[in-house]
């Protein structure tokens, strides 16, 4: 019985940490150069023809998603990072967007884990579809 109690306490502690740990904006609100679309183990990079208002449109689309909020930056600053949390556990995924050579650059990645099972790519591609749909 004691072992079960310890396991439950550890599990709840881990879940609490995932949901409540502070997010260091200086670590996640960063841009790099994106040269081509790519999917990593727990990340996604996209370069999109989105027009001169691409960043503003991206912010509008992304912030319509449930459990998504601005972590750092803004459209007026030229770069924005949003955090989207999963429904059940609250795992944070970070997506940074900026204009690069007239295109919208998007970099999405997970904070925890080594593999995201394509969740970031699916989310970012959904936002891109909404952007290009009109």
Q: In whole angstroms, what is the distance from residue 122 CA to residue 1 CA?
A: 42
DSSP 8-state secondary structure symbol assigned to residue 91: -
Alpha carbon 131 to chain centroid, angstroms: 16
Of residues 16 and 83, more confidence is placed in 83
Q: Domains in the chain, ordered, with CATH?
A: 24-132 (3.30.310)
Whether this prediction's pTM lies above 0.75 is answered by yes
Read off the pLDDT of each residue in 26-49 and give the average, rounded to a whole number.
Answer: 93
- Above 70 in pLDDT, residue 134? no
pLDDT at 18: 66
Alpha carbon 112 to chain centroid, angstroms: 12
Please answer whether residues 107 and 62 qualify as being in contact, where contact means their C-beta atoms are separated by less than 8 angstroms.
Answer: no
Tell me the two tokens of residue 36.
């081509």
- Above 70 in pLDDT, residue 87? yes
């Amino acid at each position: 019985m004691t072992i079960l109690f310890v396991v439950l306490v550890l599990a709840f502690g881990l879940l609490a940490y995932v949901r409540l740990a502070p997010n260091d904006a200086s670590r996640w609100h960063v841009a790099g150069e994106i040269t081509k679309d790519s999917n990593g183990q727990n990340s996604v990079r996209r370069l999109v023809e989105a027009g001169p208002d691409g960043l503003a449109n991206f912010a509008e689309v992304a912030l319509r998603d449930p459990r998504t909020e601005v972590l750092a930056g803004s459209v007026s600053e030229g770069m924005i990072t949003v955090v989207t949390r999963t429904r059940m556990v609250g795992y944070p995924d970070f997506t940074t967007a900026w204009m690069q050579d007239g295109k919208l650059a998007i970099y999405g990645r997970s904070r925890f884990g080594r593999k995201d099972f394509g969740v970031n790519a699916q989310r970012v591609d959904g936002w891109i579809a909404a952007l290009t749909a009109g």
